[in-house]
A = this chain, B = another copy of it.
Amino acid sequence: MQIEAVDFFYLSMPEVTLEGDGSQDALLVRVAAGGEVGWGECEASPLVSIAAAICPRSHGACQPVLASVLGQHLDGVADIARISRLVRRNSLDLLQTAHTLSGIEIALWDLLGRRRGEPVYKLLGIKQAFPKMPYASVLFGDSAADTLAKARAIRAKKFRAAKFGWGPYGLGSAEDDRDQVTAAREGLGPDGILLVDAGAIWVDDLDAASQRLAALSAVNAHWLEEPFVSGALDAYRALAAKAGKLRLAAGEGSHDTYMARHLIDHGGVGFIQIDTGRIGGIGPAKEIADYAASRGVTFVNHTFTSHLALNASIQPYAGLAEHKICEFPAEPKSVAFELTENHLMPGDDGMIHLPEAPGLGMTINAAAVARYGVDTEIRVKGKTLYRTPTLPLEARR
């Protein structure tokens, strides 16, 4: 079958705040081929990823992403990798490419799975999808007292693991940060798995990060996530050597497989966190999951948006039984939660189970797409290169 159409839907909360909450907007991608559609989602900045899809070309290696997608044949799994290589080649000099490609690639897997009547993980060669233990992923409270309350609420919801991140962490003194992680531990109880996310706040400042290690060890944190930006391999390696039992987690910024491999090979991380909405989709994320497993590094999804993105980010390591923990957006904004009609909520066993339905098995909520839709238009030389697709969704094809 031939790829006939790729449409982008930019959704947003009416107001987007400055908090470090990535669930405030979303870019949904719909790919149509052979009478079937598939859905994916790009992380982040919807307008810029749309622009990368439809921009006028600058030269042969700086073409719009859609130039390498529309009209391509999609008859099997190998075509997805082939199309991705073509996009990377023809849009080599367009920096935003990987984020735009990611949503499209996810939609291609969904579409092919629907066509074949098989869940995506089976298309990936995974025989059995093992359940994942969700960790509630939330922002630190503005104060330690707020964080304590958040942690208690998470515990009351029966989560066995929680991650606190961003907010004031790293912005004040090491003592402030100690109070925050101590409050998180107190609220979570002694047995809860506690994860801490610094949100790259120290950029590549080894000393600043080192000052937080003692408090993190004292509260028995399971990992320290993103003390540094993704490229700061030297700082990662040096901090990992100092961190003792505490392991480092990073990788969400990876926009290709090389970046993720470098964090494993040169950065000394213990957990590699991949967002399928950024790295180029499900295929490259699967490659990293297998690579991590071969190197004794634990793979974890990065997801702070919708359950479509959550689903797509779990598929790549569904077959790795020992890589158990999974990020679960516990306080998403309504746009992210309502984007799908069904959700990957923890089952009676407290675990996340991938659907066994064809493709990703998620149903897009047409009413939410209409309600949160952001009317957008890009015009160049008097021609409309992009306009928000006509709604309702059903009427479109």
From A44-52, A103-111, A152-160, A184-192, give the one contacting chain B: A44-52
Given A51-B51, A55-B48, A94-B45, A60 contacting B19 (CB threshold 8 A): yes
Q: Does chain B have a CB within 8 A of A319? A: no
Q: Does chain B have a CB within 8 A of A43? A: yes
Contact A44 B374 (CB under 8 A): no
CB neighbours of A199 from chain B (8 A): 61
CB neighbours of A56 from chain B (8 A): 12, 16, 25, 47, 374
CB neighbours of A61 from chain B (8 A): 20, 166, 199
Interface size on A, residues (CB 8 A): 65
CB neighbours of A50 from chain B (8 A): 51
A61 to B201 alpha-carbon distance, docked (Å): 10
A393 to B376 alpha-carbon distance, docked (Å): 28
From A217-225, A337-345, A378-386, give the one contacting chain B: A378-386
A14 to B44 alpha-carbon distance, docked (Å): 32
Q: Which of B85, B200, B266, B376 is A92 in contact with, Cβ under 8 Å?
A: B200
CB neighbours of A179 from chain B (8 A): none
A24 to B56 alpha-carbon distance, docked (Å): 11
Given A229-B92, A233-B262, A258-B233, A44 contacting B16 (CB threshold 8 A): no
A258 to B255 alpha-carbon distance, docked (Å): 14
Interface centre among A51, A88, A166, A253 (most CB of B within 10 A): A51
Q: Does chain B have a CB within 8 A of A98? A: yes
Given A52-B48, A93-B44, A96-B52, A19 contacting B375 (CB threshold 8 A): no
CB neighbours of A379 from chain B (8 A): 375-379
Q: Does chain B have a CB within 8 A of A149? A: no
Contact B45 A93 (CB under 8 A): yes
Q: Does chain B have a CB within 8 A of A57? A: yes
CB neighbours of A266 from chain B (8 A): 262, 266
A204 to B48 alpha-carbon distance, docked (Å): 28
Contact B376 A48 (CB under 8 A): no
Beta-carbon contacts under 8 Å, A54-85 to B: 55-63, 85
Q: 19 pairs across A/B with beta carbons < 8 Å?
A: A16-B57, A16-B58, A17-B59, A17-B60, A18-B59, A18-B63, A22-B62, A45-B52, A45-B93, A45-B96, A47-B55, A60-B166, A92-B229, A95-B255, A232-B258, A233-B262, A374-B380, A376-B380, A377-B378
Extra contacts besides A95-B99, A95-B255 (8): CB < 8 Å: A21-B59, A45-B58, A48-B51, A95-B96, A231-B256, A262-B266, A374-B381, A378-B378
